[in-house]
Structure 1
Amino acid sequence: MTGFPDGFDIDGLPTRVLFGTGRRAEVAAEVARLGRSALLVTGRSQAAFVAELEQALGGGHAGTLDGAVEHVPVPLAERARAVARETGADVLVAVGGGSSVGLAKAIALTGGQPVVAVPTTYSGSEMTPIWGTSEGGRKTTGRDERVRPRVVLYDPELTLDLPAATSAASGMNAVAHCVEALWLAPANPLVGALAEEGLRELAAALPVLRRSPRDVAVRGGALRGAWLAGTVLAAAGTGLHHKICHVLGGLGLPHAQVHAAVLPAVTAFLADAAPGAVARIRRSLGVADAAEGLWQLAADAGAPTSLADLGLAPEQVDEAADLVAQAGPAAPRRVTADDVRSILGTALAGRP
């Protein structure tokens, strides 16, 4: 990989980060630092670790909410907030991917509980103050410091059983955070350096994981890339690419997979307007063409490369394009509804 130490701690930033093999054993201690009892918020893919954590928390385990799903539907968020109130938990522990972290954020947005995140995918959401909910075919997002996790514990061993398809799509989600940060914050040297390093880590790890999914060192590289990706997402914010993905998510398409299919098309569209960002993407990937290189990375990782394969119908393109354009997403050039239609047409075809 790229010379990072195997484990490290970071304090003094908005989020305390504990990274390394076995760090999951420190969750109970982190909960005790922040409060008296924790509500575990999770999906259903980490049942064994959740059971261990319930035991480790002992009397500090207020309850477990295991119904996290993609895009955080508003009715689910409301039920989760009610459960948090009923249990009296003063800390939330999110175990899983972006869905679990997103549901914990939805609770914290109104309840104010500190969040401890234990990511098991590469979404990067755990490092950001960005929240999102969905209702009626629309996804609403926002930024609020109340939802930014106070502590994130990254343990590569928790990702060893992540399915290949999930690893690929989630990893390309993180790649998108790095890429968009490069054209949203071109004058920020810290964001640029972290984005390039995150992109290099992910590009090195994702194709290898397709062949060697239980390689702890490679899993660690992917998690480091995801950590950096989430960090730059928090700093740079979201723009055209993420807005397209959020709109498509509101229409029912799977979030991480959409990132993989859309990113090359958005990169091709913005290439002339963001030559510096394109040069950094090429350098990080070691390719001659940024958009083509991102498409090839998704293909090599085993991620989707076409919106048609994800279920977007041609007749939905106009609706999606209008919603994106109306939102006025940040981009290094003006973006019209016709531009978004062109991007979606390219992503439907599956090659930039």
Structure 2
Amino acid sequence: MKTFVHRGQITKVVFGSGTRSRIPEEADALGCRRVLVLCTPDQTDRAGRMADLLGAAAAGTFTGAAPHTPVEVTEKAVAHARSVAADAVLAVGGGSTVGLGKAITARTGLPQLALPTTYAGSEMTPILGETEGGSKTTRRLTDVRPRTVVYDVELTHTLPAAVSVVSGVNAMAHAVEALYARDGDPVAFLMAGEALDALARSLPLIARRPDDVEARADALYGAWLAGTCLGTVGMALHHKVCHVLGGTFGLPHAEIHTVVLPHVVAYNAPAAGEAMARIARALPGDDPADALFDLAGRLGAPRALRDLGMPESGIERAAELVVRDGYWNPRPVERRAVTALLTRAWAGERP
């Protein structure tokens, strides 16, 4: 008999095409009258259109969201939110913008709405990762989870294929770790498997035909499920490695996940048989780690940390940080083994 604890979701989800038109209605439902729109510098036009849509309920925009949620950026955003008397924030974009929204919520208590434009999935989690002084700290805070998430498939139609595939593999990583999480439960396992199925069939289609509307919808559906899994269960070695690499070396978030995932799956395979069997159902082949590595190759995604700008001299430092205060993992995390894993990932070798 299985014993488990399942955490239910508190986030309202609106999924469809053209659903961004509902943002004013959703803000009103939360009683929000002064919504500050957040984005990265490259999403300024889209954020401006959302502010126009909100009309009198818009308190303006903050366009400085940055990868890995630097504390100095958050402090500027909090000051701006207070200066315009914002009573809520709307994150328009991917994980960087949603992360900023969470950081603002953690400091001010303002509710967050999210309009995702990538497959990051962080909008469905209570996980806040912040970077300060070259170090990334991750916390799980229930109150930072967005109150309402509006998924509009139309917003992903113009997401470049190269960005789409690494964002999608990032989502797959959330699902993979949910399969062997210490606090996993049957619902999370089912959602994770469904997420892997959806992403495994949609990402190759998007790589070949970025304008495939059905594939875009399938990928966003998979990303939602994967993010939901990550929001209900804990993380393990894969996310620890990625947080260290991102926070220490400033490497791009989704690309790190894409490179590292096959290597962590190979590391954990001996201790997570049920999870490996489910991955193999989504990605048939002799070995799940090889299947993920080959998928990245077919998608034209990066497969080496050195190609992302990580110095070879940083491998030992990264291994030290991964082992220090590490997350729970199905297989014990040993310094020498982590160094070997990172060495192969740095070189782009098969896991």
Q: TM-score, normalised by structure 1?
A: 0.94
Mapped partners of 1:200, 1:291: distance in 2: 16
Amino acid at match of 2:97: S
Amino acid at match of 2:269: A
Q: Determine the structure 2 residue equivalent to 1:334.
A: 332
SS in 1 for 2:41: coil
Alignment counterpart, residue 36 of structure 1, candidates 5, 10, 33 = 33
Q: Determine the structure 1 residue equivalent to 2:242.
A: 245
Q: Determine the structure 2 residue equivalent to 1:4.
A: none
Amino acid at match of 2:62: L
Amino acid at match of 2:128: W
Mapped partners of 1:345, 1:245: distance in 2: 14
Q: Determine the structure 2 residue equivalent to 1:310.
A: 308
Amino acid at match of 2:15: F
Amino acid at match of 1:197: E
Change (3 A) 1:185 1:286: farther
Mapped partners of 2:184, 2:97: distance in 1: 33
Could you tell me how far 1:52 is from its partner in structure 2?
A: 2.5
Residue 39 (structure 2) pairs with residue 27 (structure 1):
no
After superposing the two structures, state which structure 1 stretch, 182-191 or 18-27, moved more: 182-191
Q: Determine the structure 2 residue equivalent to 1:174.
A: 171
Could you tell me how far 1:340 is from its partner in structure 2?
A: 1.0
Task: Check whether the contact 2:39–2:92 (CA below 8 A) recurs between aligned residues.
Answer: yes
Could you tell me how far 1:137 is from its partner in structure 2?
A: 1.4
Residue 82 (structure 2) pairs with residue 85 (structure 1):
yes
- List aligned pairs for 1:1-352, cutoff 5 A: 13-34=9-30, 35-185=32-182, 188-250=185-247, 251-350=249-348, 351-352=350-351
Using the aligned pairs only, state the percent identity. 50
Task: Check whether the contact 1:28–1:53 (CA below 8 A) recurs between aligned residues.
Answer: no
Q: TM-score, normalised by structure 2?
A: 0.94
Task: Check whether the contact 2:171–2:226 (CA below 8 A) recurs between aligned residues.
Answer: yes
How many residues align structurally? Answer: 341
SS in 1 for 2:68: coil
Q: Deviations over 1:235-254 (max 9, x none)?
A: 11211100000000012111
Could you tell me how far 1:349 is from its partner in structure 2?
A: 2.5
Task: Check whether the contact 1:165–1:302 (CA below 8 A) recurs between aligned residues.
Answer: yes
Could you tell me how far 1:146 is from its partner in structure 2?
A: 1.8
Task: Give structure 2 stretches of 5+ with no counterpart.
Answer: 1-7
- Please list every run of at least 4 consecutive aligned residues from structure 1 whose deviation after the TM superposition is greater than 6 angstroms: none
Q: CA RMSD in A?
A: 1.3
Could you tell me how far 1:315 is from its partner in structure 2?
A: 1.1
Task: Check whether the contact 1:325–1:337 (CA below 8 A) recurs between aligned residues.
Answer: yes
Mapped partners of 2:184, 2:313: distance in 1: 39
Q: Deviations over 1:76-105 (max 9, x none)?
A: 011011111111111110000001101111
Could you tell me how far 1:310 is from its partner in structure 2?
A: 1.1
Amino acid at match of 1:299: G
Could you tell me how far 1:313 is from its partner in structure 2?
A: 1.7
Mapped partners of 1:13, 1:334: distance in 2: 30
Mapped partners of 2:42, 2:95: distance in 1: 13
Task: Give structure 1 stretches of 5+ with no counterpart.
Answer: 1-11
Task: Check whether the contact 1:120–1:158 (CA below 8 A) recurs between aligned residues.
Answer: yes
Could you tell me how far 1:281 is from its partner in structure 2?
A: 0.6
Mapped partners of 1:309, 1:331: distance in 2: 27
Could you tell me how far 1:187 is from its partner in structure 2?
A: 5.5
Could you tell me how far 1:48 is from its partner in structure 2?
A: 4.0
